Structure 1
Amino acid sequence: MAYTKSVDELQELLRQAEQRAEDAERDRQEERQRAEREQERAEREQQRAEREQQRAEDAEEQTRLTTFIEYIVACHIHVFLKLVVETDKKLTSKGSITNPRNKWCPTHLRPWPDFLEQQRVIFGTLHDSFPTDSRLFESRGFLAGLGHRISQRPIANEKTLEFFLHNSVEDPVRTISEQLKQVESVRRAFDMGRGIVFENHPHAISDVAQEVADRQTPSTPQTPDHRHDLNQLRPDQICVYRSNDGPSESRTMVFVSEYKPPHKLTTPHLRLGLRAMNIPNDVVNRKTIPTSAAPDALFQYHAERLTASAVTQTYHYMIEGGLEYGLVTTGEAIVFLKVDWEEPETLYYHLAEPGPEVAAHPEHSHVCTAVEQSLDDGIRPLYVSGARGVLFQVTMIAYGYTFVGKGTVQAFIRDLEHEAAVYERLRSIQGANVPVFLGAIDLRPMKKIYYYDHRVTYQRHVGGKSSYVWSGSQLAYGTNGNVLRAGRWTGVNAREAG
């Protein structure tokens, strides 16, 4: 009996022990679950905090100013890559890309051999002279908003392409220039002067200015008519000027740009059409034209004609403006052009495709993105103009004499003749109160060409130059009292001279 009771007690004790073990295990599991829940809750809190921090950092990154390299890359990603080309032919502009008739045409078209090396050197110099870690440029958020607006306007004609290029290339370039010119080391390295501006209107005394056009003498029709159609030749390209340092605001044209919609001049056209060639022999005077039986040869033929027409128009403006550089752009591609004035009949080119090039070279993406030439020895434009003429510094190299020449276009010849008559009337006070007038030169019989600005050339169809003794800078920058006294004395003497 006692034995049975002992077994029962032992069994009860064992059951209680097992129950305590189960309770302890359950407590341990519950504690582990509580710990896991706490850990999960802590992890969720950490993740939420990290997301909040990431959102804050993203928001700050979108709104804070960018560095030089960040800005170039952001312009490409958020703006340039938002280019959309209209594919519905019913909505695109019609007609040819240009008419190369009556324009200067290069004889040779050749690759620009050292373009990339020049670009590398320029970026290296810029990197060494500009604080590239300074946050000076527009934010990514602003550029993203701009890119969204651009994406809503597919390129269907010249105007929408102009809108795209103004916003994706020219405005960023101007913005960068405004910051670069603030740094003295950059100003010295690149001769930036007061920066650059983009304009697309001609000079006030160019042959497309309204007053000049009104002064043109009508002529009887000729067959063929060799007179320029002013409306047809009115330039639509953007002219880029550099504002020079100095007491007066003066500008020098740096290069010209021509816009060609990508549905008229495609990137495949440019890839095939740009090659080393003799344009008059290989394109203009080509004897045979491929037929539809040879589609590849026919496409090559059209590519060369379209490309040659486009670069010829830009070359014409480069020659007219006395420029070394120019470009043709479709938005998708850019053709950089160069004229070596030691060999002006040759036009050098480099084709850039920013989209594919950045994708292929991400480590050099900032380099791949789309972001004074004296023509006559002894004759230099001073970029000082008035209502009827512009000034040149003329040096007789053989003797060292320097004087000022005032040039004008044909429409204003009679104005300079009247000015010459006034100086002749004031001969007695020349050299004392008014400049010494040396005489006038008619450039038309000499068939000479001098460039001042876009569509302002002094050549065989242009009036002439009046010559005055060189006397340095403008009087306006002398001592005010001296200027006023000299002005009053000049007025008195002029009235006495009649």
Structure 2
Amino acid sequence: MADNSSPDYEALYRKAEAERRQVEEREAEEKVGTPSRSTKGSIPPSTGKYCPTSLRFWSSCPVQLQEIYDSVSPYLQPAGKDAPRPVSSLLVLEDLGRRYSSRKLQSERDLEHYERTAVEDYVRDIIDKLCEIPDARKRFRLGDGIMFENHENVLQTEESDVQLFDESSTKHPKPDSFCIHRINDSTNTLVTTVEYKPPPKLSVENLRAGLRPMKLWEEIVQSDTIPKSDEQRKDEKLKYNAEQLTCSVLVQEYHVMIQAGLEYSYITNGFAIVLLRVPYSEPSTLYCYLCEPNMDVISE
């Protein structure tokens, strides 16, 4: 669990941005023109949002996840002892899977319901069970447990999606980002946030094609080049669209992370999870790791 004290992300970010702008000003006169084979255009701006300079793969994430699993499992499966049951029986889980396999995740409401009943409730049960074990509670700094909460009343930030997404005409759309708090007696500490994007808005295919190491600010936000939609460049245009969609969501969540001073966060569409990290030493760099639980199960 995260520590109560966090560095001033906004101050670090502003310092890094000032340094980046100085470099851009020195290189402005050397900027190469747009190739003639591409059409002109500009992506919808992430108005008023912090934006990472670079996007990189979080290569050490799998090792860290395994280390967390290895440190937690002995408490839930102690050698030579009856293991506590932090979640429902296999029969109940199979029934839950059967029910959801016949439903489609078409909206934020669908995804929110699925995440709450199939993911968050079970995560809370596991944390609650660990809290009953004094050594585990102290080691993982669990406090009195965790709480999932719609972050509309927690973070004072504009939650409208970037214009790239064709949102409903509803005047006040429901926020699709949630907070996870650590409970300590009568106080709550924000640990991380979660961004929900249903598959019709952000598919697994979008994530696979759109996530790559890049200079995000330079290649996505500042670029005004849009590939033509002719048959010869169809694949190029599809990849461009995937990068635009994916990076728009990344910027949206990065903005929340910087504003709230969070090192970790994640984005999910119900089928895939993008784990995010902003290191204290690199506040202008966003690290990401794509997890596809279904693929992991199939490979095993």
In structure 1, the partner of 2:181 is 241
Does residue 111 (structure 1) correspond to residue 61 (structure 2)? The answer is no
Q: How far did 1:238 drift?
A: 1.2
Contact kept? 1:337, 1:349, Cα under 8 Å: yes
In structure 1, the partner of 2:83 is 134
Contact kept? 2:274, 2:288, Cα under 8 Å: yes
CA distance in 1, matches of 2:106, 2:261: 32
In structure 1, the partner of 2:66 is 120
Q: How far did 1:176 drift?
A: 0.8
CA distance in 2, matches of 1:189, 1:126: 10
TM-score of the aligned structures, taking structure 1 as reference length? 0.45
CA distance in 2, matches of 1:258, 1:319: 14
What CA deviation, in whole Å up to 9, does each residue of 1:205-251 have, x standing for no partner? x647xxxxxxxxxxxxxxxxxxxxxx77974311000112xxx4111
CA distance in 2, matches of 1:340, 1:233: 32
What CA deviation, in whole Å up to 9, does each residue of 1:94-129 have, x standing for no partner? xxxx98322111111101121111111111111234
In the alignment, which of 196, 204, 214 is matched to residue 267 of structure 1?
204
Does residue 313 (structure 1) correspond to residue 252 (structure 2)? The answer is yes
CA distance in 1, matches of 2:60, 2:84: 32
Larger radius of gyration between Structure 1 and Structure 2: 1
Q: How far did 1:296 drift?
A: 1.2
In structure 2, the partner of 1:438 is none
In structure 2, the partner of 1:416 is none
Spell out the pairing of 1:313-462 with structure 2 (5 A cutoff). Answer: 313-360=252-299, 362=300
In the alignment, which of 104, 125, 138 is matched to residue 154 of structure 1?
104
**More displaced 10-residue stretch of structure 1: 149-158 or 331-340:** 149-158
Q: How far did 1:152 drift?
A: 4.0
Contact kept? 1:241, 1:254, Cα under 8 Å: yes
CA distance in 2, matches of 1:99, 1:287: 11
What CA deviation, in whole Å up to 9, does each residue of 1:145-196 have, x standing for no partner? 3233323431111111111111221111111111111112211221111111
CA distance in 1, matches of 2:49, 2:174: 13
CA distance in 1, matches of 2:217, 2:62: 28
CA distance in 1, matches of 2:173, 2:278: 21
Contact kept? 1:238, 1:257, Cα under 8 Å: yes
- CA distance 1:315–1:120, change in 2 (3 Å): same
Q: State the AA in 1 paired with 2:236.
A: A
Contact kept? 1:156, 1:263, Cα under 8 Å: yes
Identity of aligned residues (%): 39
Q: How far did 1:203 drift?
A: 4.4
Structure 1's unaligned 5+ residue stretches are 1-97, 209-230, 363-498
CA distance in 2, matches of 1:321, 1:232: 23
What CA deviation, in whole Å up to 9, does each residue of 1:283-342 have, x standing for no partner? 112242211231111111111111100111111111111111111101111000011122
Contact kept? 2:263, 2:280, Cα under 8 Å: yes
CA distance in 1, matches of 2:263, 2:284: 12
Contact kept? 2:45, 2:221, Cα under 8 Å: no
In structure 2, the partner of 1:253 is 190
CA distance in 1, matches of 2:212, 2:141: 33
What CA deviation, in whole Å up to 9, does each residue of 1:359-406 have, x standing for no partner? 11x2xxxxxxxxxxxxxxxxxxxxxxxxxxxxxxxxxxxxxxxxxxxx
Contact kept? 1:239, 1:255, Cα under 8 Å: yes
Contact kept? 1:130, 1:185, Cα under 8 Å: no
Aligned length: 238
Contact kept? 1:174, 1:196, Cα under 8 Å: yes
CA distance in 1, matches of 2:151, 2:213: 33
Higher relative contact order (CA 8 A, sep 6+): 2
CA distance in 1, matches of 2:132, 2:150: 26
CA distance in 1, matches of 2:54, 2:104: 35
CA distance in 1, matches of 2:63, 2:149: 29
* SS in structure 1 of the partner of residue 113 of structure 2: helix
Q: State the AA in 2 paired with 1:312.
A: V
In structure 1, the partner of 2:35 is none
Q: How far did 1:255 drift?
A: 0.8
Spell out the pairing of 1:471-482 with structure 2 (5 A cutoff). Answer: none
Q: State the AA in 2 paired with 1:310.
A: V
CA distance in 1, matches of 2:146, 2:287: 24
CA distance in 1, matches of 2:138, 2:156: 36
CA distance in 2, matches of 1:165, 1:181: 22
Q: State the AA in 2 paired with 1:270.
A: L
